[in-house]
């Protein structure tokens, strides 16, 4: 499916597209009622592969889990199947493929700092030779992984009794490496005075010795191998990584710097953005997210904690101190408060597939920007407006610092983001569209929470913040529906081609289709 500009889309010419009806597809890692979730099992990032055939998740335990698509992939088109009266798959279906330990907890002895194993971001790279390649990062170290299927090899035609050998056909080397071999093919037990219980030879020894044969079976095993490690390039926590469209380079960003890497070179990177002032007391904003343009290898965008997005051109200079374009929304006079900069901080940005628009998420809203119009966003979607009267409470319990992600459909017609109470919102972004759907990450996505106006929101004071953090914080939104600040949907991803959304709730991965 080729992405089209808004003016060229058939839906825009014929009228507004109909709102999508979302349905539950499947769930992985669903927990039972009352079941406790281990901290290491909580999902921390989700990413679809470019073709949509694979999905990767990372968790706080440093693990990467891969899923593969299992529905119609036989090459037949939908119209052909309809003419032949073949049943068409209801929705995308995925199955578990493999998992591997990407990062381990470390300790920086120079800075006396613990580096947790949590996976911050995963990015898919170009596939080659039926192998999958991806980048994963924690706070300090980026790793380049290769995942491929390999047939299991076994050793047969042994001189020994195979029933006494190990499971894969090889024998234990601990009992035979230090024994003396006699001319008749038997081992001397007198020299080392230990029993020969792991090997079984025919009575009288072997008449002749045969070379073992390696046999390749039909069983497949998924093997993940770390190809390269990109380390020691960031003084601050890495918040994002992004692949370049040239297939050769990628960027990594922390609070103050953005580095450019070559996939083949892990001992050298180039600093292309540096916002660190000479005196740290003069620091006014930090980098929150960075992403390459989907088609222009020289263009990338990064967002800041003051709510601005900067577009830079790598052709201008080696160190991109000056931006090519600046996207920001000017605040209304007299509306500034203590929380203005906090809620304006951009937590995530995404390019549309056509490269024409940028989607950004701050605490209160989703904003859609046109690269050709830097005067302001072309659309603003209210997500948390009902929380504005409770900003003091949100600041006290640290919820105001939650970082919600955003995503856009492959055709560019809709956007989505997460919220509290395990809810996520889907908006239509075509001009004049009024589509705004609220869904719950459960088996019944259209279920609405029961209003509970008699149970007001609780205020957490600074004295009880450490004790009560993450506890029960119910309230009521503008529609009378209850919300719970302790359950939040931070991570979600839209399939690059189909109308399918994957979202994470604690350790569970929910998938929906329309």
Residues of the chain with pLDDT > 70, as a percent, come to 77
- Residue 190: the pLDDT is 47
**82-96, 181-195, 397-411: least confident range:** 181-195
Q: For 128, which DSSP code?
A: B
Q: How are beta strands 508-513 and 23-28 bridged, if at all?
A: antiparallel
pLDDT at 500 over 50: yes
C-alpha angle 338-343-348 in degrees, rounded to nearest 5: 155
What token pair was written down for 145?
């992984």
CB 46 within 8 A of CB 134: no
What token pair was written down for 316?
């201008």
What token pair was written down for 78?
């939908």
The values of phi and psi at residue 465, to 5°, are -60, -45
Q: For 19, which DSSP code?
A: P
DSSP string, 430-467: STT---EEEEESSSSTTPPPPP-TTSPPPPPPTTTHHH
CB 409 within 8 A of CB 502: no
**6-20, 113-127, 497-511: least confident range:** 6-20
**Rounded to an integer, what distance in angstroms lies between the CA atom of residue 293 and that of residue 291?**
7
Q: What is the mean pLDDT of residues 198-203?
A: 62
What token pair was written down for 384?
């948390």
Query: Residue 144: which of 160, 163, 128, 166 has the closest Cα?
Result: 128
More confident residue, 460 or 305: 305
C-alpha angle 97-101-103 in degrees, rounded to nearest 5: 140
The whole-model pTM stands at 0.78
**226-235, 277-286, 461-470: least confident range:** 461-470
pLDDT at 161 over 80: no
Q: What is the mean pLDDT of residues 369-391?
A: 93
Q: Max Cα separation, the chain?
A: 100
DSSP percent split of the chain into helix, strand, coil, nearest 5: 10, 40, 55
Residues of the chain with pLDDT > 90, as a percent, come to 60
Q: What is the mean pLDDT of residues 174-184?
A: 44
- Residue 3: the pLDDT is 45
- Measured from the Cβ of residue 2, the count of other Cβ atoms closer than 10 Å reads 7
- Measured from the Cβ of residue 244, the count of other Cβ atoms closer than 10 Å reads 22
pLDDT at 88 over 70: no
On the 0-12 / 13-18 / 19+ scale of CB atoms within 10 A, 377 is buried
- Residue 59: the pLDDT is 96
- For tokens 């020894």, the residue is 205
The beta strands (E) that lie in 231-345 are given as: 240-243, 249-253, 257-262, 265-274, 287-292, 299-304, 309-313, 325-327
**Rounded to an integer, what distance in angstroms lies between the CA atom of residue 486 and that of residue 449?**
15
CB 501 within 8 A of CB 492: yes
More confident residue, 326 or 203: 326
What token pair was written down for 269?
């990177």
More confident residue, 503 or 179: 503
**Rounded to an integer, what distance in angstroms lies between the CA atom of residue 289 and that of residue 302?**
5
**Rounded to an integer, what distance in angstroms lies between the CA atom of residue 484 and that of residue 469?**
13
**Rounded to an integer, what distance in angstroms lies between the CA atom of residue 211 and that of residue 231?**
45
**124-138, 174-188, 269-283, 368-382: least confident range:** 174-188
Q: What is the mean pLDDT of residues 133-141?
A: 96
- Residue 222: the pLDDT is 87
pLDDT at 434 over 80: yes
Q: What Å distances lie between residue 124 and 21, 131, 374, 389, 414, CA to CA?
A: 29, 12, 30, 40, 23
- For tokens 């694979």, the residue is 54
**Rounded to an integer, what distance in angstroms lies between the CA atom of residue 188 and that of residue 200?**
14
- Measured from the Cβ of residue 32, the count of other Cβ atoms closer than 10 Å reads 5
């Amino acid at each position: 499916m080729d992405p089209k500009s808004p003016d060229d889309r058939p839906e825009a010419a014929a009228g507004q597209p109909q709102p999508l009806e979302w349905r539950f597809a499947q769930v992985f890692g669903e927990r039972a009622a009352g079941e406790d979730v281990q901290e290491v099992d909580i999902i921390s990032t989700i990413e679809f592969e470019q073709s949509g055939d694979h999905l990767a998740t990372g968790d706080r335990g440093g693990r990467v889990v891969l899923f593969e698509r299992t529905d119609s992939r036989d090459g037949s088109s939908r119209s052909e199947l309809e003419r032949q009266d073949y049943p068409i798959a209801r929705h995308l279906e995925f199955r578990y493929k493999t998992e591997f330990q990407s990062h381990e907890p470390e300790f920086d002895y120079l800075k006396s700092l613990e580096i947790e194993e949590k996976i911050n971001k995963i990015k898919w790279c170009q596939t080659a030779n039926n192998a999958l390649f991806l980048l994963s990062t924690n706070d300090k170290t980026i790793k380049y992984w290769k995942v491929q299927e390999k047939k299991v090899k076994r050793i047969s035609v042994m001189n020994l009794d195979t029933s006494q050998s190990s499971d894969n056909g090889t024998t234990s080397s601990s009992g035979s490496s230090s024994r003396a071999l006699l001319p008749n093919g038997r081992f001397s037990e007198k020299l080392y005075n230990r029993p020969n219980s792991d090997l079984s030879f025919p009575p009288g020894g072997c008449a002749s010795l045969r070379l073992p044969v390696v046999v390749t079976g039909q069983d497949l095993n998924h093997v993940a191998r770390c190809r390269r490690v990109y380390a020691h390039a960031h003084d601050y926590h890495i918040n994002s990584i992004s692949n370049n469209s040239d297939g050769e380079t990628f960027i990594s960003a922390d609070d103050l710097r953005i580095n450019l890497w070559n996939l083949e070179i892990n001992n050298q990177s180039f600093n292309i953005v540096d916002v660190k002032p000479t005196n740290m007391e003069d620091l006014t904003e930090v980098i929150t997210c960075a992403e390459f343009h989907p088609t222009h290898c020289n263009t990338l965008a990064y967002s800041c904690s003051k709510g601005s997005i900067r577009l830079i051109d790598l052709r201008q200079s080696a160190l991109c101190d000056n931006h090519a374009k600046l996207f920001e929304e000017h605040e209304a006079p007299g509306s500034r408060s203590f929380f203005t900069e906090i809620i304006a901080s951009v937590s995530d940005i995404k390019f549309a597939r056509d490269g024409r628009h940028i989607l950004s998420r701050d605490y209160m809203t989703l904003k859609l920007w046109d690269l050709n119009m830097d005067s302001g966003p072309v659309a603003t979607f209210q997500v948390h407006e009902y929380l504005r009267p409770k900003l003091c409470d949100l600041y006290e319990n640290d919820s105001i610092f939650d970082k919600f992600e955003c995503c856009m459909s492959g055709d560019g017609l809709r956007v989505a983001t997460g919220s509290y109470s395990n809810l996520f919102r889907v908006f239509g972004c075509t001009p004049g569209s009024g589509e705004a759907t609220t869904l719950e990450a459960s088996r019944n996505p259209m279920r609405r929470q029961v209003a509970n106006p008699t149970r007001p929101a609780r205020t957490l004071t600074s004295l009880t913040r450490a004790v009560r953090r993450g506890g029960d914080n119910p309230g009521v939104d503008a529609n009378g529906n209850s919300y719970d600040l302790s359950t939040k949907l931070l991570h979600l991803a839209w399939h690059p081609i189909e109308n399918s959304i994957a979202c994470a709730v604690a350790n569970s991965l929910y998938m929906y289709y329309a």
